[in-house]
A and B are shown apart, each in its own frame.
Chain A
Amino acid sequence: MHSFGYRANALLTFAVTILALICAMASLSDNFNSPSPSSQIQILNINWFQKQPHGNDEISLTMNITADLQSLFTWNTKQVFVFVAAEYETLKNSLNQVSLWDAIIPTKEHAKFWVQTANKYRFVDQGSNLRGKEFNLTLHWHVMPKTGKMFVDKLVMSGFRLPEEYR
């Protein structure tokens, strides 16, 4: 502590180390949060179901997505990234996941929502396996923190089935 510069340096490094420590504690405090999210997805309409020129099936659908993700938010949450994926099995792949819609939820107030939308991203299969296919719609979320660990989880909603014939 011999000079101004020496003390300033010591203070700065110690302050930054302690800042790292309290940020780590803030991230650890997220583990005490036990979230209870809920969601429902309804398929309102299959808009069209075609086979593309290259031989891949494509489908367009309109969905009603409701969700209450307010319990995911903590004091250390920056935003929640949420997306809906259609999951199904084919002979070629044991699991296909196709992302249909996503959104960024910036605050807790926005986390309880109802959305009616056509699929934001194209639902295209690797091949033509979609006729009469049973699939799950899964709501995935990534809780992005202000500092520290990101939590990922999902909610699986099963029981959906695609039409037998192209429309």
Chain B
Amino acid sequence: MDWQGQKIAEQLMQIMLIVFAVVAFSVGYVMGSFQMMIQIYAGGVVLTTLVTVPNWPWFNRYFLQWLDPSEAEKHPKPQIQPVNSKKKSVKK
């Protein structure tokens, strides 16, 4: 999944779960059936899992151009300078 896809997946997951919770509670309350509320919500959780968790292709539309390996060699990572073991005097 690309970065944009991750954001979409997260938002979609949150929205879907909240919507299913609202629908489940409303239907359960109106119908007077606790079981119905739980069933609708459980179905919603399963559906949300199927839609947002696996790495579907539609989450991968913003294809990022990773740097080519040969190009990376031309620009080596900067080396960390060794730490000076002598204590530096504080200048006033």
A→B interface (CB under 8 Å): 1-2, 4, 7-8, 10-11, 14-15, 18-19, 21-22, 25-26, 29, 74-76, 146-147
The closest CB in chain B to the CB of A16 belongs to B45
**19 residue pairs bridging A and B, Cβ less than 8 Å apart:** A1-B6, A1-B9, A4-B55, A7-B10, A8-B49, A11-B49, A11-B52, A15-B17, A18-B17, A18-B18, A19-B41, A25-B25, A26-B29, A74-B32, A75-B32, A75-B33, A75-B34, A76-B34, A146-B34
* Number of interface residues, chain B, beta carbon within 8 A: 27
Option from B6, B25, B49 in Cβ contact (under 8 Å) with A2: B6
Classify the interface of chain A: helix, strand, loop or mixed.
helix
A22 touches B7 (CB 8 A): no
B78 within 8 A of A: no
B→A interface (CB under 8 Å): 1, 6-7, 9-10, 13-14, 17-18, 21, 24-25, 28-29, 31-34, 37, 41, 45, 48-49, 52-55
CA gap between A2 and B52 in the complex, in Å? 12
CA gap between A4 and B49 in the complex, in Å? 10
A162 to chain B: closest CB distance in Å?
A: 44
